[in-house]
Structure 1
């Protein structure tokens, strides 16, 4: 079976793991954690970084640090992995789900401007939704599949309405927006994930980056059980959200090859784009309109609007020894968020079930890639 996305552990991972074990520092303190944070900050283009237990934990602690409270609303796209919204729910807040842009699959900036200007009241530094009176506490754009959201449109709106921005950059490490790294785009906090299927992995883990030293110190404090000094004195309800030294050891080895691994992902995306460009039945994954995507996942979008066609193609590919995957079901269609506030979802509802994610491990061989291409073409011809 050609797998969808497996980690590439062919660097110094084993050596650093052994060093970590030999040192006895295997938990949430140790030299690899500090080194990992320094490397993440540099790779993201941010002066400060805090490593966390997961990307979800990073999103949660970021929102808490920025003052999101129970009953608040946080604006985010509906077409994203559920962890984005779950982090909001952990705060006792509620996601306000907005449709995506058809050309990028990122948050629709036109809709963002519309809801802030037409569906909200803004007075005395406070933004509230007219319908419910709930406070709008933050905007959380997602750099979908590693493609940067249009931050040059989002950030001025956030500034105009006095709203903090937490960028969910789970899969976007290595992407660039108008020549800048994604941690250097102006969001108050940017969060990465290092889950096992990410381009850079620690087996799990995440990181929060930013330019505000005091804010990042607060993030670190909250993620370390809000403990003051060496005793057991805690001044907030904190979280046990720190990355372990063992995970950081793997992450350091991964980051040494960041440029190579991202370039490999980009080449795989380009291979699929070229291979299927002449097929009427499919369109490629979107390309970044404002820079360079990290191209975390690759695949095709079927033009046929029937969900059964997508299922039949994936079944055919599995029979040929090829793993594939459906895309995220929009959050407003998910049981936990069916009653969440939502603004136009025609794009996400018409898109998600037509997406087929294809194998894109950085270790995939050229022979395997060509086999995937040939079988996808054969499978689509059989479904016409």
Structure 2
């Protein structure tokens, strides 16, 4: 690699003050220690405790929804979100192929079928114009529901994912879902703190799912949440994720097949502390963007992914897109060998063995981006 890349590595190491720079690390201080210690001292460390309720209430207030239901991880959140809006076995669910595998797995848990759609090169999320042209050709409305004319399966929902924290084109997607009678379920796993035209991501659909894994902008260690303005759906989500147990002073009565998806109190305590610091985290992410802008400006044929017009991104993962003069794997090999942890975007899901036979549209932009995208160190530092 040339002197530009060597300087790039040196400047990143200088910024972080480390010889090895991870892709994304959590940021903790005394507040997390205090809250977690309180759980340990009181003995409330498992799935019951005040911090779970507090985290749910604080999260709902921050995002701007009536209810948040805390669960064990983002995949569980999406699984239950899809279930409570009526996704059933053999339904098809539209989603990008360019997403983390959890998006497709959550659909599969319901014995439904992922149906892969293409993305927009600027937002990295579902392309509504291309999707509508595709639906006009391959789908039809029957008695108020959308069906795939080729498979004869119902197409129940659309799951857009806000890639790396950058909001999708939500106005167009909302209109599309209304027109084609699709339930909109947002995969907001990566976009806590991101806004589309002043409205927080995860608030456009009937329900949405978030993740608080160890590498997210805030973390509960592991964890996720279901967000909704629908009190009935929120109550049902809470019921299902707590093993569908009917409240009683001592009896163990369960009224349907439920899931042990409860977030432990000790994890929620960590989340409460992290959520209090989220605005400051986002400010520091913006400073990191400014640092990378200066670094990337020195290269020809590389651009830093910026928040789409009309949006505010949390910039969870800093992302560069390289043109054809660069070999993605050579760049990744060099950066990682030099101690600057970097990653490609996910393997498009339709290329994975278990999902190769799923229906899909033309995914040309997905396949182009696969060869161009590299994520670079993104955790809080300045």
SS at match of 2:225: strand
Secondary structure of the corresponding residue to residue 12 of structure 1: helix
Residue 281 (structure 1) aligned with residue 281 (structure 2): no
TM-score (norm 2): 0.91
1:80 counterpart residue number: 99
Change (3 A) 1:11 1:335: farther
- Counterpart Cα distance in 2 of 1:161 and 1:314: 41
In 2, Cα distance between the equivalents of 1:19 and 1:132?
55
Displacement of 1:269 after TM fit?
2.3
Instruction: Please provide the CA RMSD for this pair.
Output: 1.4
Runs of 4+ with >4 A deviation: none
- State whether residues 118 and 131 of structure 2, in contact with CA within 8 Å, keep that contact through their aligned partners in structure 1: no
Q: 2:40 corresponds to which residue?
A: 21
Which residues of 2 match residues 302-341 of structure 1 at below 5 A? Answer: 302-304=322-324, 309-341=327-359
Rounded Cα–Cα distance in structure 1 between residues aligned with 2:29 and 2:308? 29
State whether residues 329 and 353 of structure 1, in contact with CA within 8 Å, keep that contact through their aligned partners in structure 2.
no
2: CA distance, partners of 1:34 / 1:109? 37
Deviations 1:280-318 (A, max 9, x none): 131211422231111100032221266xx2222222223
Note the alpha carbon deviations across 1:240-290, whole angstroms, 9 max, x for none. Answer: 111110100100000010101122122212321232124213121142223
**Could you tell me which residue of structure 1 aligns to residue 226 of structure 2?**
208
Structure 2 spans left out of the alignment, 5+ residues: 1-19
Question: 1:122–1:105: structure 2 CA closer, same or farther, 3 Å change rule?
Answer: same
Unaligned regions of 5+ residues in structure 1, if any?
366-384
CA–CA distance in structure 2, aligned partners of residues 256 and 356 of structure 1: 30
Which deviates more, 321-330 or 31-40?
321-330
Of stretches 222-231 and 280-289 in structure 1, the one that deviates more from structure 2 is 280-289
- TM-score, normalised by the number of residues in structure 1: 0.91
Aligned-partner SS, 1:19: helix
Matching residue of 1:252: 272
| 2:185 paired residue number | 166
Deviation at 1:11, TM superposition (A): 4.6
Whole-angstrom distance in 2 between the partners of 1:213 and 1:63 = 16
Matched residue, 1:35: 54
Specify which of 210, 218, 238 is matched with residue 236 of structure 2.
218
CA distance in 2 between partners of 1:11 and 1:349 (Å): 44
Counterparts of 2:304 and 2:359, CA distance in 1: 31
